[in-house]
Amino acid sequence: MKTKIILDTDPGIDDVFAILFAQAHPDIELKAITTVYGNATIENATRNALYIKQKYQLQADVVTGASQPIIRPPVGPTVVVHGEGGLGDVKVPENIEGQADPRPAYQYIIDTIKAEPGEITLVAIGPLTNLALALQADPSIVDLVKEVVIMGGAFGENNHHGNVTPFAEANIHDDPHAADIVITASWPVVVIGLDVTEQSFFTREYLDQLRDDAGEVGQFIWDISRFYLRFYSEKVGLEACHVHDPSAIAYVINPELFTLREGPIRVVTDGVAEGMTIQKLDSRVYPHDEWMDKAPQKVGVAVNNIALLELYRRSIIDYATSLK
């Protein structure tokens, strides 16, 4: 049985890796792409999503979401990582067919969850503003969603702590107030953070082979990856890129690829540790405990990276073959 997902995303090079992964795999029904600021402005994020929908004839709705955080000042698009438009060296055509759904993303999320109770998995691979706005507008959705899978955060496992500050991951840092609202809500959350996403690598050789084996789709992934790999080479010192956003899709397809641990999570919303994610792992009752009354959530702490990389590769190759 297919898992129906709404993919909340800020496309974004690795977001496109994830969109194509979700579209490619037969166990996922990609119902919608809801956009959010982050890697790109909301205008560019939505244009990029509409471009991918047109290019690959996706059936998913595209829905425009939040343009800025709930409270904190905007950080601005991540141009150094994803380029001016969000897709690196690839320029989106001026004329794109189709339009976004007229509803704001948070309302689309509410409407879809209520129309199909217990069937929708929210997969959030950008800042969590749209999900927080949906919760604020209709708290009842916590009892109607199937699962919430988040690519974000870092908990210090495998020595991974942060990527935009020493202790914060980018998606959470972009809107820590939204993240705290979403992660402390009483719906089932799985956080796939840097602890596992930085354990998997798309190497230059891997992407070259995908280009050679996956037709036009592989070529497109290769094309948008050029800017991304330059960033990793020049700024991070890697001749590869981490498998961030596709890891969340991989979890939806095959949760057994990941080892999880459980406990309530809080997000630091200001100060020097703004955006830091902290999970309480003991059951001790403390005199002051901002975790005690929050729902326990799951965090990925280990991954079968070899199987994950093969799952991605095989999914994209099979998808490319189906388009011929």
What is the tens place of the pLDDT at every residue in 142-169? 999 999 999 999 999 999 999 999 999 9
pLDDT, tens digit, 9 for 90 and up, residues 167-199 = 999 999 999 999 999 999 999 999 999 999 999
DSSP class of residue 90 equals: P
Q: What average pLDDT does the structure give for the chain?
A: 97
Q: Please tell me the predicted confidence (pLDDT) of residue 1.
A: 84
Under the banding of pLDDT at 50, 70 and 90, the label for residue 259 is: very high
Give me the mean pLDDT over the 218-247 stretch.
96
Active-site residue, selected from the candidate residues 173, 242, 244, 288: 244
SS (H, E, C) 132-153: HHHHHHCHHHHHCCCEEEEECC
Question: Which secondary structure element, helix H or strand E, spans residue 204, and what is its range?
Answer: helix 204-213
CA distance 177 to 274: 10
Under the banding of pLDDT at 50, 70 and 90, the label for residue 313 is: very high
Question: Does the predicted TM-score (pTM) go above 0.95?
Answer: yes
Under the banding of pLDDT at 50, 70 and 90, the label for residue 83 is: very high
Residues 6+ apart with CB under 8 A from 211: 218, 219, 221, 222
Q: Which domains does the chain have, with CATH numbers?
A: 3-323 (3.90.245.10)
CA distance 111 to 141: 9
CA distance 52 to 8: 15
Distance of CA 44 to the CA centre of its chain: 17
Q: Please tell me the predicted confidence (pLDDT) of residue 147.
A: 98
Evaluate if residue 94 carries a pLDDT over 90: no
How far is residue 231 from each of residues 65, 77, 126, 151, 241, measured CA to CA in Å?
27, 15, 19, 20, 9
Evaluate if residue 18 carries a pLDDT over 90: yes
- Catalytic residue check, 173: no
